[in-house]
């Protein structure tokens, strides 16, 4: 059960963990996603 509080919207587009986001984007360039699974 999740209560909705739209005051949290201010965090939606904000980069909270730049290091981790950079790692995720680097992973896309070097490793990519696992093969054989559905990608959007």
Partner 1 sequence: MKLERYELTAEDSLMVFEFVSEGPKGSIRKLIQYGETNLKGLYNLAFGDVDITTGEINDSVNSNNNDSDKVLATVVATVYAFTEKYPDAWIYATGSTKSRTRLYRMGLTKYLAEITVDFELYGERPSGWEIFEKGVEYAAFLAQRKNA
CB of 18 to partner 1, least distance (A): 9
Angle formed at CA 13 by CA 10 and CA 14, multiple of 5 degrees:
75
Please, what is the minimum distance in Å from the beta carbon of residue 13 to partner 1?
Answer: 8
Separation CA 6–CA 32 (nearest Å): 34
Which residues inside 1-40 make contact with partner 1, applying CB under 8 A?
A: 1-17, 19-21, 23-25, 27-28, 31-34, 37-40
Binding site for partner 1 (CB under 8 A): 1-17, 19-21, 23-25, 27-28, 31-34, 37-40
């Amino acid at each position: 059960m999740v209560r909705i509080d739209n005051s949290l919207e201010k965090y939606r587009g904000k980069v909270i963990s730049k290091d981790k986001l950079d790692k995720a984007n680097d992973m896309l360039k070097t490793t990519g996603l696992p093969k054989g699974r559905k990608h959007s």
